Chains A and B, each alone.
Chain A
Amino acid sequence: MSNGAISELMGNVSEGWVQAAEKAAAFTVLVDARKRLPGSGVVFSSNMILTADHVVEREENIRILLGDGSVHVATLGGRDPANDLALLRLEEAVLTPTEVAEREGRVGQPALTVARPGPEGIQVGWALISAIGGPVRTMRGGLLRRFFRLDATPFPGFSGGALVDLNGRLLGINTSGLAGGTFLSIPVAVAWEIGDILARHGRIRRGYLGIRSQPVEIPPALQQSLNRVQERGLLLVGVEENTPAAAAGLMVGDILTALNAQPLNDPEDLVSVLSADVVGKPVTLELLRGGQKVEKQAIVGER
Chain B
Amino acid sequence: MESEPLSPRDAPVRLALLSPGGAIRAGLRALLQTGGRVEIAAEMADVSELQRMDERVDVLVAVMPFQRLAELEKHLAEGVTSAILLLVTDWEEAAGVPLPNLFRSRAAGLLPLGVEGETLQAALAALLEGLSVGLPGWFSLLGQPGGMPFSPAAGEERLTPREVEVLEQLAQGLTNKQIARILGISEHTVKYHISAVYAKLGAMNRAEAVRIGARRGYLQI
Contact = CB atoms under 8 A, between A and B. Distances in A.
Interface string B130-169: 1111000000000111011110000000000000000000
B211 A219 contact: no
A270 B9 CA distance: 27
Given A233-B147, A271-B214, A290-B129, 14 more contacts: A59-B175, A76-B175, A80-B173, A202-B175, A211-B220, A211-B221, A216-B149, A216-B150, A217-B148, A221-B145, A252-B125, A270-B221, A271-B221, A303-B172
Given A253-B122, A268-B214, A208 B220 contact: yes
A267 B215 contact: yes
A82 interface: yes
Given A203-B174, A240-B220, A215 B150 contact: yes
Among A203, A214, A271: residue with most chain B CB under 10 A:
A214
13 contacts: A57-B205, A81-B206, A81-B207, A208-B221, A212-B220, A212-B221, A213-B217, A214-B215, A240-B220, A267-B215, A267-B219, A274-B221, A303-B172
Contacts of A208: 220-221
Interface string B17-42: 00000000000000000000000000
A290 B130 contact: yes
Contacts of A203: 172-174, 178
Interface string A200-229: 001110101111111111110110000000
A176 B216 CA distance: 28
A210 B122 contact: no
A209 B125 CA distance: 19
Given A76-B177, A251-B125, A237 B144 contact: no
Interface residues of B, number: 41
A81 B221 contact: no
B78 interface: no
Interface in B200-217: 205-207, 210-211, 214-217
A219 B143 CA distance: 11
Contacts of B131: 251, 253, 289-290
A141 interface: yes
A80 B45 CA distance: 57
A235 interface: yes
Contacts of A235: 147, 149
Contacts of B177: 59, 75-76
B126 interface: yes
Nearest to B213: A267
B4 interface: no
Among A57, A206, A213: residue with most chain B CB under 10 A:
A213
Given A208-B220, A251-B125, A268 B211 contact: yes
Interface in A142-160: none
Contact of B175 (A79, A237, A303): A79
A214 to B, nearest CB: 4
B127 to A, nearest CB: 10
A39 interface: no
A290 B132 contact: yes
Contacts of B147: 216-219, 222, 233, 235, 255
B176 interface: yes
Contacts of A253: 122, 126, 131, 133
A291 interface: yes
B46 interface: no
Contact of A78 (B119, B123, B175, B205): B175
Interface string A280-303: 000000000111000000000001
Contacts of A79: 173-175
A118 interface: no
A238 B164 CA distance: 14
B129 A251 contact: yes
B1 interface: yes
- Give the 5 A-B residue pairs with the shortest CB-CB distance, closest first: A216-B147, A252-B122, A267-B214, A237-B217, A79-B173
A40 B131 CA distance: 56
Contacts of A204: 173
Contact of B211 (A80, A141, A233, A240): A141
Nearest to A253: B126
A208 B221 CA distance: 5
A222 B144 CA distance: 8
A132 to B, nearest CB: 25
Nearest to A202: B178
Among A57, A59, A206: residue with most chain B CB under 10 A:
A59
A22 interface: no
